[in-house]
Structure formats: structure tokens, C-alpha cells
Amino acid sequence: MTIDPKFKPILLEALEDMMYKLSLQLSELKGGPLTPERKKLTAKQNSVEELQHLISAMK
């Protein structure tokens, strides 16, 4: 995957905002049962985190 370096900061900022939103959604479900929605949000959060690391490591 190739990303123009000029887009890297805005992509990371967008992903950070997305992580914040996911964290808020998950915090509402905290302490409750592990529902399919909660599993989906957790998987999405893990994917976004992995993508953040990939983009951060790009030169």
C-alpha cells in the first residue's frame, strides 16, 4: 500500500477520531454482556489500531 506522505497526517487524525468514537461506543457497553454489537465494535477498534500502526510506520 502506498500513501502520499502529504495525506499521512490527515489519515492518522481521522483514524484517531474514529478510535475516540469507537471508545465512546464501547464504554457505553462496558460491564454488559459480550453482545454481537460489542464484538463487532471491538474488532473494528482492533483493525483501526492496526491501520494506525501501519500508516505511522510508512516512510
What's phi and psi for 16, nearest 5 deg? -65, -40
Residue 2 has pLDDT above 90, yes or no: no
Give pTM, 2 decimals: 0.85
Query: Which is more confident, 13 or 58?
Result: 13
CA distances in angstroms from 14 to 11, 26, 29, 43, 49, listed in the order given: 5, 18, 23, 18, 12
Q: What is the CA radius of gyration of the chain?
A: 14
pLDDT in tens, 3-45: 899 999 999 999 999 999 999 999 999 888 899 999 999 999 9
| DSSP assigned state of 21 | H
Q: What angle do CA 47, 45, 35 make, to 5 degrees?
A: 120
